[in-house]
Amino acid sequence: MTPPPTHRRTESASELDDDTASRLRLAVMRLARRLRQESPPGITPSQLSALASVDHLGPITIGDLAAHENVQPPSISRIVGTLEGDGWVERIGDDSDRRVALVRATPKAHRELARIRQERNAYLARRLALLDPEDLIAVLAALPALEKMLRDGER
């Protein structure tokens, strides 16, 4: 499979041409936006991100959640307050330090997050099924590199 005409082979990412970088950025952003549309009404992307982090990381302090979400503690406090008011999370005491409050996802959150993941996965599977076999192989082959890029955390 040959690259599209606007793509030139490069020795490093620093040589990536603007057109290719722009196409990649737009494709990733559009896919992310479409997947976010599978969210329940009444919950913002920031709230859903925080909720998913709480669900994944288990009981967590507000400070650790703020660091994980890369937002300031007052912002995450507001988000958690809203999530708590809507029954998505609950605050519990820390057994090792009673001065610390932890946040954990409620059973309602576990169920809703599982439903959202299922719907998003189904959407993605439907879109991938429309690709030619060669394109599907190319997309799946890029997955480890994309995961590494995100794991390395450089912005």
The 10s digit of each residue's pLDDT in 15-43 is: 678 888 899 999 999 998 888 887 777 88
Residue 100 pLDDT greater than 50, yes or no: yes
Contact at 8 Å (CB) between 36 and 124? no
Q: Which two tokens stand for residue 22?
A: 């722009």
pTM of the model: 0.72
Residue 49's pLDDT band (cuts 50, 70, 90) = very high
Q: What is the mean pLDDT of residues 82-89?
A: 96
Of the two residues 81 and 154, the one the predictor is more confident about is: 81
Q: Which residue has the tokens 């196409």?
A: 23
13-24 residues labelled b (16+ CB within 10 A) or e (exposed): eeeeeeeeeeee
- For the beta carbon of residue 82, count every other beta carbon within 10 angstroms: 17
Q: Which fold has domain 45-106?
A: Arc Repressor Mutant, subunit A (1.10.10)
Residue 81 pLDDT greater than 60, yes or no: yes
Of the two residues 95 and 20, the one the predictor is more confident about is: 20
Of the two residues 51 and 2, the one the predictor is more confident about is: 51
